[in-house]
Amino acid sequence: MYAQLKLELEADDIDYKKSSNLQGILMENIDTEYAGILHGNQLNPYSQCLIRENGKNIWCIKTLTEEAYEQIIRPMSEVKSVIFKKSGRDVGVTKWQMDRCEARELLDEFYDISCPKYLDVQFMTPTAFKQDGRYVIYPDLRLIYGSLMRKYSAASGELDMIDEDLLNQLTDYSSITRYRLQTILFPMEKTNITGFVGNISIRVHGPETLARYVRLLLRFGEFSGVGIKTGMGMGAMRYNRREPK
């Protein structure tokens, strides 16, 4: 099961730059032993980010497994305020919203529902990748697909997506047809990472099955995030569904 908890924060003057602080707050509110397990994971079963939605600051906490849901979202759904240690500021939570999606739903959509050739993606918080020890700060489709495939395979027992041939096909038969992007800094404790935010449109050529794979990955990415540091607030993304003509 994939799940998302939205916490509406009672503050207008904070933004995504506080996301890494929120990860620390999250760790303080869950079981200590489980927090230790998460620190040792190469691929985390959760992501979190701070976004602006309908004029409100929303802290989104998302999980990819039943265990992560029980260990992270359940305790966080009872949080009434968040305290930023450095400033000592106590920010109230005014609203809670829970959304859940069974993993099977994405597979049923993959097998049963046709998919358009054009797919639109919004990168909501600074997004970046790491390749050969260097940061990549633009939307390389191979890196996007590869990141989502690894995250999906780590979280899912239904479908193994770690497949170099499939990754090659998805990359070869996809292209970015439109984009509106900008680079933006994501502050860490001792440094800043440059990432990108904005929108792209992807066209998938060839068999519709490939477009369905891309849709599956993008839908999953709404919960997992994409690229690096998704547990700290980077890489939040949204698959924007096109209205049928």
SS3 per-residue string spanning the chain: CEEEEEEEECCCCCCHHHHHHHHHHHHHCCCHHHHHHHHHCCCCCEEEEEEEECCEEEEEEEECCHHHHHHHHHHHCCCCEEEECCCCEEEEEEEEEEEEECHHHHHHHHHHCCCCCEEEEEEEEEECEEECCEEECCCCHHHHHHHHHHHHHHHCCCCCCCCHHHHHHHHHCEEEEEEEEEEEEEECCCCEEEEEEEEEEEEECCCHHHHHHHHHHHHHHHHHCCCCCCCCCCCCEEEECCCCC
Write out pLDDT tens, residues 155-192: 876 566 678 999 999 999 999 999 999 999 999 878 89
Using pLDDT thresholds of 50, 70 and 90, give the confidence band for residue 223. Answer: very high
Mean pLDDT in the chain?
91
pLDDT, greater one: 245 or 93: 93
| % pLDDT > 90, the chain | 72
Whether the model pTM is above 0.75: yes
Strand 134-136 to 129-131 pairing: antiparallel
Write out pLDDT tens, residues 101-120: 999 999 999 999 999 999 99
